[in-house]
Amino acid sequence: MWFFTSEEKEIQKVCRDFAQNELAPFAEKHDHDETFNLKAFKHMGDLGLLGITSDPDYGGSGMGATAATIVMEEFGKACAGSTLSYLAHTILCVNNLNNNGSHEQKLKYLPKLISGEHVGCMGMSEPGFGSDAVGMQTKAVKNGDFYEITGNKMWITNAQYADVVYLYTRTGPGKKDLTTFIVEKGTPGFSVSKEIHKMGMRSSPTGELSFDKARVPLANRVGSEGDSVHHMMKNLEIERITIAGISLGIAQACLDQCIKYAGERKQFGKNLANFQLIQKMIAEMYSETEAMRRMLYTVCYEYDYGVKSNSLASAVKLQLPKMATKIALDAIQLHGGYGYSREFPVERMMRDNKLNEIGAGTNEVMIMIIAKNLLKDALRE
């Protein structure tokens, strides 16, 4: 994009090279085996990418949504599953802790999370509370210098590998009586109770977290009791922007694969690139991808310069994953039988992208948020 700074352009180049060398060659195998590319994840720490939005005082890079989204796009082209795990660590855990934790908490946890020595995750969704996140029932009860936490968290990215969990709990009867804790691996009463097998994003580990009177020190409470709804909603904005970057990467990868295939595949004695219907499909895919890119990075730019908009964050989260799914389906159609098989990566890209229409708020929830914000005056009774 024309407004990328020299530092953001350098991040783009570094991530593009890294993705092609350390993510793309192993994407199919990790998808097939449902395994996590932990080696590549650790190397992201060496490159300074795991704390891209975090304070340099704790080892972070101090950059914004634009830089983080550039990483998502470049990594998403190569392996969307690995990129989702990167997002869960960097945006859901590290960024949250950087913005809301105390100096002592940040000093204790951020350096190892940012270096890649530790893996992080966030616990929000529950078996019965996905879209209605503030209805969560996992409870934290104060007992002296500790809290005892009981409940379950579902669909947790990085669950099986996490050393640190940024955990939302309920500490009172009110809808907004939510409080955050930092829970360490090995805490008595805390376990990963189930591994979840998925349609896509199979190289990103997902599991269920269980808490049975897990004893968490008072020092690990983030902020005061009841602070968490504000923290949660604030972080959801950058999460929705950056996850849309994964969809942009998938769309661009589908387009690149289609151009390559059209120049190589022959039917009726001619390359597919000579057929007008194929040209139409590729032209539309390009136009849609560029519309996605300009919408997303405009919102990133505004976010970084102080123009925060829940509606715009929800709009990019609504539109980009939907458009990327369409582009991936078109790419499968263009490839014909090969597209439907595992001979080419477009079927994996379609499976991976579908998650982006569900995670971080479903399409339907995004519609509710946007409509409510636009119509709030008209809806008043």
Catalytic center residues = 239
- Count how many residues are written for the chain: 381
User: What is the rounded distance in angstroms from the CA atom of residue 169 to the CA atom of residue 124?
Assistant: 8
Residue type, position 46, single letter: D
DSSP H/E element including 111: helix 103-115
User: What is the rounded distance in angstroms from the CA atom of residue 318 to the CA atom of residue 9?
Assistant: 27
Q: What tokens appear for 72 in the block?
A: 């998502």
Following CA atoms 235, 233, 302, 255 in sequence, which dihedral angle do they give, to the nearest 10 degrees? 70
Which of 67, 65, 73, 75 is closest to 44 using CA atoms?
Answer: 75
For residue 262, how many C-alpha atoms fall within 13 Å in the half-sphere facing its CB? 22
Residues 6 or more apart from 13 whose CB is under 8 A from it? none
Q: Please, is 377 exposed, middle or buried when counting C-beta atoms within 10 Å of its C-beta (0-12, 13-18, 19+)?
A: exposed
E strand residue ranges, the chain? 120-123, 139-143, 146-157, 164-170, 178-184, 190-195, 206-217, 221-222, 266-267, 270-271
Judged by phi (left if over 0) then psi (alpha if -120 to 50, else beta), residue 276 lies in alpha
Secondary structure letter of residue 52 according to DSSP: T
